[in-house]
Amino acid sequence: MSNTDLEDDLRGTFDRAAASVPPATDLTGRATTGARRAQRRTWIISGAAAVAVAAVAVVSFGLAGSNNKPVEPPVAGGQTPAATTAAPEPPTAQSVSGTWRPVQIAELKSLKATRPDDPVLVFRPDGTWGGSDGCNALQGTYSIGQRGEFTATVGPQRLIGCDNVPHTAVLHAAKRIAADADSLQFFGADGRELARYARAG
């Protein structure tokens, strides 16, 4: 067989093979459609990613903003939270008026000794005081400053010897007092507590 016959035979084989394959229609359209679908998917994915990034940014901003604002606890009934407890009011002649019995006096070992009278101090709103040291009647005057400063004088008295309570020594040494409804305290110039009394009436 010559080369020319071989070439003709091969060409005929290729032609028959090509004729047996069904023609592909609109290959260009299909390629274009596929490219458009891929591009559309890319846009959708990109858009979703952008939305997700925006959502994360909004949440992060919200959290950051919330850290800058103190959170106040809810109050029942919508009322304003109660204010911090105010400092106690300074004592006055009115607030200390009444009868007081000693419960502690510096350097006095015991207040439970037997005495003829009940050892008490009685303060009056007019600036006078009275009472008993357990053996002797006592009286005098006193004054209270705006910040609890205290001064007292002691009037004439009998001196009957017994295991008396040193009310007068406390009143002379006291430079400041503090009081509430049930307690009266006396303090010296150095701030040390000299005595403590409890309301008896």
Model pLDDT for residues 161-201, shown as the tens digit of each residue: 677 899 999 999 999 999 999 999 999 999 999 999 999 97
Give a yes or no: residue 111 inside a domain: yes
Q: Is 34 exposed, middle or buried (0-12, 13-18, 19+ CB in 10 A)?
A: exposed
Specify whether 138 is located in the same domain as 181: yes
Tell me, yes or no, whether 113 lies in a domain. yes
**Do 154 and 114 sit in the same domain of this protein?**
yes
Q: How confident is the model at residue 53 (pLDDT cuts 50, 70, 90)?
A: very low
Least confident stretch, 108-117, 152-161, 177-186: 108-117
pLDDT band, very low/low/confident/very high, at 10 (cuts 50, 70, 90): low
The pLDDT score that the predictor gives to residue 132 is: 94
Average pLDDT, the chain: 74
Q: Which residues contact 197 (CB under 8 A, 6 or more apart)?
A: 100, 101, 102, 103, 121, 183, 184, 185, 186
User: Is position 153 within any domain?
Assistant: yes
Q: Are residues 156 and 103 in the same domain?
A: yes
Residue 157 maps to a domain: yes
Q: Tokens 């307690």 label which residue? A: 183
Looking at residue 1, what is its pLDDT?
54
Q: Would 39 be classed as within a structural domain?
A: yes
Which residue range(s) make up the domain with 44? 27-67
Assign 153 to helix, strand or coil: strand
Same domain, yes or no: 111 and 173:
yes
pLDDT at 116 (0 to 100): 76
User: Is residue 32 in some structural domain?
Assistant: yes
Q: CATH number, domain at 188?
A: 2.40.128.270
Q: Is residue 3 part of a domain?
A: no
Query: Which uninterrupted H or E stretch holds 28?
Result: helix 27-67
In a domain, 72, yes or no: no
Say yes or no: 107 and 47 in one domain: no
Number of domains in the chain: 2
Per residue in 124-144, pLDDT tens?
Answer: 999 999 999 998 999 999 999
Domain shared by 190 and 98, yes or no: yes
Residues 40 and 136 in one domain: no
pLDDT above 80: residue 146: yes
